[in-house]
Structures are given as structure tokens and as C-alpha cells.
Amino acid sequence: MAQLLCRDLTLGYDQKSILEHLNFEVNAGDYLCIVGENGSGKSTLMKTILGLQPPLAGTVERGDGLRANEIGYLPQQTLVQRDFPASVEEIVLSGRQGRTGFWPFYRKADRESAEKNMERMGITAFRKRCYRELSGGQQQRVLLARALCATEKMLLLDEPVSGLDPKVTADMYQLIQGLNEEGITIIMISHDIAAAVQYASHILHIGKKVFFGTREEYQHSRLGEWFLQEESVNA
Ligand SMILES: Nc1ncnc2c1ncn2[C@@H]1O[C@H](COP(=O)(O)OP(=O)(O)OP(=O)(O)O)[C@@H](O)[C@H]1O
């Protein structure tokens, strides 16, 4: 079975739906980009996948041995979060909180995981620095390392390159692609449609019209052709 199976999902708030009858699945090793206009419900969908927001109807099923606490999440950064007064090390380690359960302290395995993922993201050198003093790109690496502390299976990334300059954006995409090549399933919300069709294996386009399929199918679909053209005109 797929790692994630979303069947006939209807999403919304206070019984008012924003998105209806959504069907898609994600398999181990996939790289799914979720695209769509502002306010179409991308972040709401992500919260629903994480179990933070109940759907109005339909189901989200996990399979292929994926447990609820094995999904790493990189939230959309807010200004308040950018100003968070904690050290790099503390933030990365906090990615293990879903695993400590009722035991309120970090174990050796938690510290080892933090160590490994700081190394993996190239941030060990500034582990003692305060998060809010870092550049946007460094902050995103810290948050990726934190998300990786929760999982070796699936990462949910909500606009991971927003606000980053082109060079740092390209580095970030490389880093994410590398993780995908290591076998980690990627689900990423993106406003960057050109990058989405370059890196993703699958595209979920949500809004008034919905599309789910491989990136090749998307590029040849009417919705994909139209959206790609729109984006290049606006770029
Ligand atoms: N907590 C909430 N309560 C009520 N309505 C909400 C809530 N959060 C979001 N919405 C509404 O749901 C709709 C979808 O919002 P969502 O943030 O999921 O869209 P999005 O596609 O992620 O947007 P963006 O591209 O701007 O980040 C919007 O109309 C938004 O105003």
C-alpha cells in the first residue's frame, strides 16, 4: 500500500469547504509538489496530512509501515519564528520531541540523531549560535535538520525556499533532491512552478480545477500547460 492515501477528502473550516473530493496517493520515494493559487488550501491540506486539522469528509490513510510520528515537517516560516531565541542545537534537538513520549528528557539516541542531522545539513559549525542571528538559508537548514530528526521516511515542506535569494534557493533544492535520492519521500508546497516540474516526480495542483499525476502528465495536461505559461509570463 502507498505511504499516504487520501480518499475523497473535503477540507475546510467551520463546515465551510474550501476544497472538495480530493484523491491522491504518495508512495515511498516519491517527490510530490503541491501547487495552486494563493488561498487554494495547500497549507490546510498539509495540516490535514499531519493530523492537525480534521477533514470535513474523506480519509487520510497511512500505509507501508509509516507511523504518525515518522513524518518530518518544515512549517512555513513566520516573522515571529525567524526571531526565535534558541540555539541551533536546541532547535534541531526539538525535532525529537515526538519520540520522547511521556519521558520528558532527551536520550542518547536523540542527541546522536541531532548530531547526525546537523552534520548532514552542514550546520555543525554554528550549533551554539542563536537561531535568530542566522541568514534565511541557514535558518532553513536548521529547520530541515530538525524535521529530519523526526524521520528517515517522509518530509513535508511548506514553501521551503520562500524569501531566499536565487543562489540559496538553488542550494536548498539540491539539498532536498539529495534527501529524496537517499529514499526520503518529499511532499512540498511550492509557488515556484518551474522548479516543481524540474524536481518533482508527481504534481498535485489544487484550486478550482484539480490535477494529480506524474510531472510529465501535468506538463501535457491543459491545466499544467496553462499554469506553466501563466507563471512564465508573470516571472
Ligand atoms: N484557521 C483558519 N480558520 C478559518 N479559515 C482559514 C484558517 N486557515 C486558513 N483559512 C482559510 O482557508 C483558505 C485556504 O487557506 P490555506 O492557508 O490553506 O491556503 P494556501 O493555498 O496555503 O495559501 P497560500 O498560498 O497563500 O499560502 C483561505 O481562504 C484561508 O483564509
pLDDT at 22: 96
pLDDT tier for residue 232 given thresholds of 50, 70 and 90 = low
Residue spans per domain, the chain: 1-23+55-66+190-216, 70-154
Distance 38 CA to ligand 1 centre (A): 8
pLDDT at 144: 94
Cell digits for 50?
499531519
pLDDT at 91: 93
Neighbours of 119 (CB within 10 A): 11
pLDDT at 102: 63
Residues facing residue 91 across a β-bridge: none
Cell digits for 13?
473550516
pLDDT tier for residue 64 given thresholds of 50, 70 and 90 = very high
* Whether pLDDT at 78 is above 80: no
Q: Is 18 in the pocket of ligand 1 (CB under 6 A)?
A: yes
Q: Which residue puts its alpha carbon closest to atom 6 of ligand 1?
A: 13
Question: For residue range 157-207, what is the model confidence (pLDDT) as tens digits?
Answer: 999 998 899 999 999 999 999 999 999 999 999 988 888 999 999 999 999
* Whether pLDDT at 55 is above 90: yes
Q: In 3D, which of 192, 152, 154 has the Cα closest to residue 172?
A: 192
* Whether pLDDT at 230 is above 80: no
CA 169/CA 136 separation, integer angstroms: 10
Q: Which residue puts its alpha carbon closest to atom 31 of ligand 1?
A: 39
pLDDT at 77: 78
Q: Which amino acid is at 100?
A: T
CATH code at 70-154: 3.40.50.300
Q: Is 162 in the pocket of ligand 1 (CB under 6 A)?
A: no
pLDDT at 100: 63
Question: For residue range 5-47, what is the model confidence (pLDDT) as tens digits?
Answer: 999 999 999 989 999 999 999 999 999 999 998 899 999 999 9
pLDDT tier for residue 79 given thresholds of 50, 70 and 90 = low
Q: Is 48 in the pocket of ligand 1 (CB under 6 A)?
A: no
